[in-house]
Amino acid sequence: MASSSHEAMHRIFQKEPGVFGRAFRALDLPFPEPTAVSIMPTDLTETTPLERRVDTLLRFDTENEGSFLLAVEAQGRRDRAKPASWAYYTSYLHAKYQLPTVLLVTCQDKSTAVWAAAPYSVGPAHWPMLTLRPLVLGPHNVPVITDVRAAAQDIPLATLSAITHSKDANADAILKALAAALKTIDRENAEIFSELTEQGLANSPALKTWRELVTVELSFFRSETSQRLRAEGHTEGRAEERAESVLRTLKHRGIEVPEAVRKRIVDCADLETLAAWVDLSYTVKSAEELFADYDD
């Protein structure tokens, strides 16, 4: 229930969890090497009718320093309601699993990354009860990988670099290095990382460059698969699911939904707008408040 770029920004950690530690070594934040990594359930829904889901949740087991949870959230823009949700996720996961919890936020623009990294405190200013300090990956700290050899040595990190820097001046060089590096690995993984890259570049000028590189250099790429993923029926189905999620959440919270509001939600076909409304549906005080940022 999110845009393709949103999906790619956290799914890459499902495909290759080790990219988490490698990305942060450059920031002098060394995490112990895991001996095992498990994909955890992402459903944080309570027994009461309130649905909350983290994008990706992983459990890292290490040899000497125990285990910890990594919750990954892909954030496309500033959202004043998100820090409270992130604080909830972190506290809930710690309480449920009794494990240290790390929140990682991935962003594709520096301003959003800087905003996401700011500490968020719960409680009065003179006595904060909880302070959230997310780890953030964005254009300001993810390495720019334009060397083919470096890209081939770490395909997942090179993919993350391509997605994160999709709006940078270096985007074409990063994509060319990644395309060349994908030729050095097996077909199945090359197809997976090709698809993740295409999803992550959605709605960016770099997407055209990537498709041209795929067509010319990556003959193994299954264009039919991508076409099916972007097919109109698939998009319509996801839009309907998101609209239903918004209406269901508002209903469970006891918020009245006028017919005009219901129609606007159901008729909306823009997946990113619907994703924003899904997030807002947990916090708004009236149904009309969903549209506050869209009716200026």
Asked whether 137 and 23 are in contact (CB, 8 A), the reply is yes
Around Cβ 216, how many Cβ atoms within 10 Å? 9
Q: Which residues of 159-198 are buried (b: 16+ CB within 10 A; e: fewer)?
A: bbbbbbbbebeebeebbbbbbbbbeeeeeeebbbbbbbbb
At 253, list the tokens.
């919270």
Query: The whole model's pTM is what?
Result: 0.58
pLDDT exceeds 60 at position 132: yes
Higher pLDDT, 172 or 237: 172
Choice among 44-48, 118-122, 210-214, 289-293 with the minimum mean pLDDT: 44-48
At residue 173, the 3 state secondary structure works out as helix
What is residue 9's predicted lDDT score, i.e. its pLDDT? 66
What is residue 197's predicted lDDT score, i.e. its pLDDT? 84
At 31, list the tokens.
């995490």
What is residue 174's predicted lDDT score, i.e. its pLDDT? 92
Q: In the structure, what pLDDT confidence band is assigned to residue 173 with cuts at 50, 70 and 90?
A: very high
Task: Give the percent of the chain with pLDDT over 70.
Answer: 84
pLDDT digits (tens, 9 = 90+) for 211-239: 888 776 665 544 444 444 445 445 566 78
Higher pLDDT, 18 or 107: 107
Around Cβ 99, how many Cβ atoms within 10 Å? 15
Alpha-carbon separation of residue 230 from 216, 226, 244, 258 (angstroms): 21, 6, 21, 32
Asked whether 275 and 6 are in contact (CB, 8 A), the reply is yes
Choice among 132-141, 248-257, 261-270 with the minimum mean pLDDT: 248-257
End-to-end CA distance of the chain: 26
At 12, list the tokens.
């890459």
pLDDT exceeds 90 at position 127: no
Q: In the structure, what pLDDT confidence band is assigned to residue 5 with cuts at 50, 70 and 90?
A: low
DSSP 111-145: HHHHHHHS-EEES-TTS-SEEE--EEESTTTS---
Choice among 52-56, 146-150, 151-155, 218-222 with the minimum mean pLDDT: 218-222
Q: Which residues contact 222 (CB under 8 A, 6 or more apart)?
A: 191
pLDDT digits (tens, 9 = 90+) for 80-113: 888 998 998 899 899 888 999 999 888 888 899 9
Alpha-carbon separation of residue 22 from 25, 26, 122, 154, 160 (angstroms): 5, 7, 31, 9, 11
